Amino acid sequence: MVSLNQLFAFVLTMSKKYNIDSSHSEMHSMAVLRYADELYRSQFNMFPYLKDQTNVIYSAAVLHDMCDKKYMTQSEGIKEIDEFLQDKLNKDELFYTKQIMETMSYSTVKKNGYPELGDYEMAYHVVREADLLCSYDFDRCITFKLNQGMPLTDAYHDALELFHNRVFNYNTDKLLISDYAMKESHHLNLNALKQINTWHNIIKIRI
């Protein structure tokens, strides 16, 4: 079994090695893990077998951006994750952890749809939805743009476009399938609108 201490130590090492900024490093891993745990617990009565898949759920939730194409080739990141987890997960757990991470991104789902992962299908959605819920953080989106070298005003407008074209459409695009995720998204949607309004006022007055 892989420990949380080991998982987060690996995230810190990979973030330093590949210059993974704070929008996708340990703080994001922590947020996705929290949501994955809440989603897992909300589904447990219907899918009690998830209890036996927590190694996969927690590992994929914490490590999913350690193979993000924005920072490295996906195959390069997956190779490092595979080497790290080799002696910590059994063969099936390792296989499905990598499968989830390789197929859960927004762009991959929009292009290819959901993968067929058999008994691990629900674990996949738990991790995927947890990541989507974290993307409602408008400040996090600005942070990523700033780290890409954008001035603040450009980062704000670029983030605003992404939210209107993508994030605010998760429900209409049927990307959130669990009751928990759909309900939580409404609260997060309101919070994102408040963040956007605050930044609009700051930029209008100060820049």
Q: What is the structure's pLDDT at 86? A: 96
Residue-wise pLDDT for 37-81, tens only, equals: 999 999 999 999 999 999 999 999 999 999 999 999 999 999 999
CATH code for the domain defined by 1-118: 1.10.3210
Q: What percent of the chain has pLDDT over 90?
A: 97
Give domain limits for the chain.
1-118, 135-207
Q: Taking the model in full, what pTM does it have? A: 0.96
Chain segment 109-166, per-residue pLDDT in tens: 999 999 999 999 999 999 999 999 999 999 999 999 999 999 999 999 999 999 999 9
Q: Mean pLDDT of all residues in the chain?
A: 96
What pLDDT score was predicted for residue 207? 56
pLDDT at 39: 98
Closest CA to 56 of 109, 114, 130, 127: 127
